Amino acid sequence: GAGVSQSPRYKVAKRGQDVALRCDPISGHVSLFWYQQALGQGPEFLTYFQNEAQLDKSGLPSDRFFAERPEGSVSTLKIQRTQQEDSAVYLCASSYSRQGAGELFFGEGSRLTVL
Amino acid sequence: GENVEQHPSTLSVQEGDSAVIKCTYSDSASNYFPWYKQELGKRPQLIIDIRSNVGEKKDQRIAVTLNKTAKHFSLHITETQPEDSAVYFCAASRNYGGSQGNLIFGKGTKLSVKP
């Protein structure tokens, strides 16, 4: 596709439910990042993939958060037993750069609201 | 790890005036400094970036300066226009050898340009 695609754009979950957020990066982009953006804040790093390898997951806030990119393209961020503090926009970004320090192309984000 | 501080958090200018946003970073190994613009409800988009081997970069009305010794970098927008109104984020990352460089973002500056 022309850009990074994320789905769903909006998700409302009841506290305790599991959610799965999908990211379809730009074709050929090696690096993929997940960020969490709370209202009025900057994006906070969650995790980074280089192809299918998850090279850095230091930003995942708890073991309820899990991300995968099994075939090195589409990625899924899963949040188990959602809590109210998980409410945020989850941004996915991809980059052609193998080193990860090139221009990041962001998706529109998935806005998660936990009631 | 890296920490990026950004100020001011809000900035209001008259159309045609200049706007300056400043950021400091903590990791002296950081060597890539992009600026992203995020309009309300939209994805962040790269507007300009600078690497540590240069001190200044300009693109039409936008310029970025970098002071490696002081570990700070600034965004300058001249002849501001109403369409420049948005939230601007600075970021920093490092990239060396085989190590990836995830971007660490500042908290953002909400720029309002009044007609």
pLDDT tens digits along A6-58: 999 999 999 999 999 999 999 989 889 999 999 989 999 999 998 999 988 98
Question: Could you give the CA distance from residue B50 to residue B56 in angstroms, rounded to a whole number?
Answer: 7
pLDDT at B99 over 60: no
Question: Could you give the CA distance from residue A35 to residue A43 in angstroms, rounded to a whole number?
Answer: 6
Please state the rounded mean pLDDT for residues B53-82: 95
Residue pair A31/A50 in contact by the 8 Å Cβ criterion: yes
Q: Which two structure tokens, joined as six digits, stand for A26?
A: 């730009």
pLDDT digits (tens, 9 = 90+) for A55-114: 889 899 999 999 999 999 999 999 999 999 999 999 999 988 765 456 889 999 999 999
Residue carrying structure tokens 């769903």: A8
Q: Which two structure tokens, joined as six digits, stand for B53?
A: 């081997």
Question: Does A41 lie at the interface with B, CB-CB under 8 angstroms?
Answer: yes
Average the pLDDT over each of A84-88, B37-41, B50-54 and give the range with the smallest value.
B50-54
Question: Does B20 lie at the interface with A, CB-CB under 8 angstroms?
Answer: no
pLDDT of residue B29: 87
pLDDT at B97 over 70: no
Residue of B nearest to A108 (CA): B43
pLDDT digits (tens, 9 = 90+) for A74-90: 999 999 999 999 999 99
- The number of C-beta contacts closer than 8 angstroms across A and B is 64
CB < 8 Å to B94, chain A: 101
DSSP assigned state of A84: G
Residue B84: closest CA among B51, B52, B37, B48: B37
How many other CB atoms are found less than 10 A from the CB of residue B49? 17
pLDDT of residue B95: 63
Of A42, A59, A106, nearest to B106 by CB-CB distance is A42
Question: Could you give the CA distance from residue B92 to residue B64 in angstroms, rounded to a whole number?
Answer: 13
Mean pLDDT, chain B, rounded, equals 91
CA diameter of chain A: 38
pLDDT of residue B71: 95
Answer whether B100 sits within 8 Å of A55, measured CB to CB: yes
The distance of B108 to chain A (nearest Cα, Å) reads 6
Q: Which of B10, B43, B99 has the most A C-beta neighbours within 10 Å, making it the best mutation to test the interface with A?
A: B43
pLDDT of residue A101: 55
pLDDT at B101 over 80: no
Residue pair A87/A79 in contact by the 8 Å Cβ criterion: no
Please state the rounded mean pLDDT for residues B72-83: 97
